[in-house]
Amino acid sequence: MYLKKIDIKNWKSIENESIDLENLMLLIGGANHGKSSIFSAILFFLGERNYRKKDKRKGGGSVEIQGKFQIVSLEKLKKLKPYLDKNDELVLRITGGDDGFTYKVVKEYKIKEIEWNDYQDIIKNIEVVFIPSVAATSKELTDFFYKKLLTVLSNEGACDKGIIEEIKTVYSVLQQDYASRGLQRNVIFNIARILSRESKNKKRSILGNTLILYEEPELYLHPQAERELYNTLIHLSKFGTQIYVCTHSSNFVGLKQYRSICIVRRDERGTKVFQNRKRLFSRDEVKRFNMNYWINPDRSELFFAKKVILVEGQTDKILLPYLAECIGVYKYEYSIIECGSKSTIPQFIRLLNGFKIPYTAVYDKDKHDWRTKYDKENAEFKNKGIQRSINYSIGSYVEFENDIEEEIEGSDRDRKNYRHKPFMALKKVMAKDYVIPDKLIIKIEKIFK
């Protein structure tokens, strides 16, 4: 049984939000923006957490949480048939508050109230494992995770005793008198490795359709381990395990998994979620975009930025922050993303439009005197393509006169001067007698607005 959608009303900072769910979900956003509120709502809905008075949104109406489930097991299809709609999907709803809750099945727009025991019988068809961020009782919580994991593996019956013994051996290091939080997190990492390896060997998840909620998996891991753990979680989700991750690390967010990303933001009205369910790329665009990711995986940081500055290449990425710092407009919460070429800027714009992330696209006009007529026409075609891609309610563009090298020179340049561009340009602007041209200052201020 797979949870495919969750609707949350009047829960903590959430007034009314819906989240479409993939097997792998990546919840990202600033501190205190509502990621943990989403996790707590899911845990309550699945019977893994008690209701508390402070869970109800201040000034809101009744709490209402509704989930849609997909049933893939023939055995469970037969068992749950009375509750399923015509698409063999199951929709459950919890409504209430401080005075108690009612439990309902929604079927073809008809709502049927059910008893608590019936509700419990339904939701026990999905196992839940919660790995919280480090707390004062982290050792007890890690013990709880370990025991729950062994119970799940025993219930699934999908792995041999040797694997369970291997997991017990990995976990045994925590039985010493003092087990640091870093060691506890590393143990969870090593257990995830075992689960992924065995799922690959068996070509199916040894955890079945278990739902794992994993808060801040990056804690106490160095960057290389973060990337390996993220890859491990991807493999587990592909084999059937449901994994929801709440993270502040760009190492746990991949451009290729954009459909799994849920950006969580909070303003004076409460928590809002932003997803993109549409197909952003087609045909050769998919291959080019994936190649872009492997060339520079750091581009994933764009999902954490308050604003994104898209540039064509290295020279722009190196010079813009330096010049912005010089004139006092640089902002650390902005990310400068090198797109690789002018041709791929529209793909990144589509991604940012989909998630409603503010941005400025910066590109070169490429109308140098030494270029051929065909080159100039091709450049103009690409420039217009960038402009057409922009959603001007959240995005803008800045054009450099031919390129940033000419902007810092304040004059036209010959083609022969384009060797070692990033180094030569940086050397130029770092010279003691260099003065930034007024026209360039205006453009940099617009870029970092």
pLDDT tens profile 108-118: 878 999 999 99
Q: How confident is the model at residue 377, as a pLDDT?
A: 87
Q: How confident is the model at residue 315, as a pLDDT?
A: 87
Q: What is the percent of the chain where pLDDT is above 70?
A: 91
Residue for token pair 């048939």 = 81
130 SS3 class:
strand
Give the mean model confidence (pLDDT) for residues 428-447.
92
Structurally, the chain folds into a number of domains equal to: 2
Confidence band for 418, pLDDT divided at 50, 70 and 90:
low
Of 142-151, 187-196, 368-377, give the range with the top mean pLDDT: 187-196
- The region of weakest confidence among 16-20, 138-142, 259-263, 441-445 is 138-142
Distance CA 294, CA 304 (A): 19
- Pairing state of beta strands 359-364 and 89-97? unpaired
pLDDT at 414 over 60: no
280 burial (CB, 10 Å; 0-12 / 13-18 / 19+) is middle
C-alpha distances out from residue 198 to 135, 202, 208, 212, 360, Å: 30, 6, 12, 17, 45
| Between residues 67 and 365, the one the model is more confident about | 67
pLDDT at 119 over 90: yes
- The region of weakest confidence among 142-156, 235-249, 382-396 is 142-156
Q: How confident is the model at residue 193, as a pLDDT?
A: 92
Do 210 and 326 lie in one domain? The reply is no
Q: By the 8 A CB rule, do 17 and 250 touch?
A: no
pLDDT at 24 over 90: yes
Which residues lie closer than 8 Å to 34 by C-beta, 6 or more apart? 12, 13, 14, 264, 266, 270, 271
pLDDT at 286 over 70: no
Please report, for the domain that includes residue 52, its CATH number: 3.40.50.300
Do 376 and 243 lie in one domain? The reply is no
363 located within any domain: yes
pLDDT at 13 over 80: yes
The model's pTM? 0.86
Do 231 and 374 lie in one domain? The reply is no
38 located within any domain: yes
AA identity, residue 40: S
283 located within any domain: no
Give the mean model confidence (pLDDT) for residues 247-255.
87
Q: How confident is the model at residue 282, as a pLDDT?
A: 66
6 located within any domain: yes
pLDDT at 168 over 70: yes
For 67, the domain range is 2-275
Do 205 and 313 lie in one domain? The reply is no
Phi-psi region of 20 (alpha: psi -120 to 50; beta: other; left: phi over 0): beta
Do 256 and 320 lie in one domain? The reply is no
C-alpha distances out from residue 148 to 145, 153, 166, 210, 392, Å: 5, 9, 16, 11, 49
Do 397 and 265 lie in one domain? The reply is no
Do 303 and 362 lie in one domain? The reply is yes
Confidence band for 157, pLDDT divided at 50, 70 and 90:
low
Q: How confident is the model at residue 443, as a pLDDT?
A: 95
pLDDT tens profile 220-237: 999 999 999 999 999 999
415 located within any domain: yes
Give the mean model confidence (pLDDT) for residues 270-286.
78
Do 193 and 305 lie in one domain? The reply is no
Go through 170-184 and write b for each residue having 16 or more CB atoms within 10 A of its CB, e for each that does not.
bbeebeeeeeeeeeb
pLDDT at 382 over 60: yes
282 located within any domain: no
AA identity, residue 71: I
Do 308 and 193 lie in one domain? The reply is no
Last residue of a domain, one of 207, 240, 275: 275
Last residue of a domain, one of 251, 275, 299: 275
Do 246 and 324 lie in one domain? The reply is no
Q: How confident is the model at residue 136, as a pLDDT?
A: 43
Q: How confident is the model at residue 407, as a pLDDT?
A: 81
Do 77 and 170 lie in one domain? The reply is yes
Mean pLDDT of the chain, nearest integer: 87
DSSP secondary structure letter of residue 93: E
Please report, for the domain that includes residue 443, its CATH number: 3.40.50
**SS3 labels along 341-379:** CHHHHHHHHHHHHHHCCCEEEEEECCCCCCCCHHHHHHH
280 located within any domain: no
Last residue of a domain, one of 246, 275, 304: 275
Give the mean model confidence (pLDDT) for residues 227-254.
92
Q: By the 8 A CB rule, do 302 and 357 touch?
A: yes
Do 422 and 299 lie in one domain? The reply is yes
Of 142-146, 277-281, 330-334, give the range with the top mean pLDDT: 330-334
- The region of weakest confidence among 149-153, 356-360, 438-442 is 149-153
284 located within any domain: no
Give the mean model confidence (pLDDT) for residues 346-369.
90
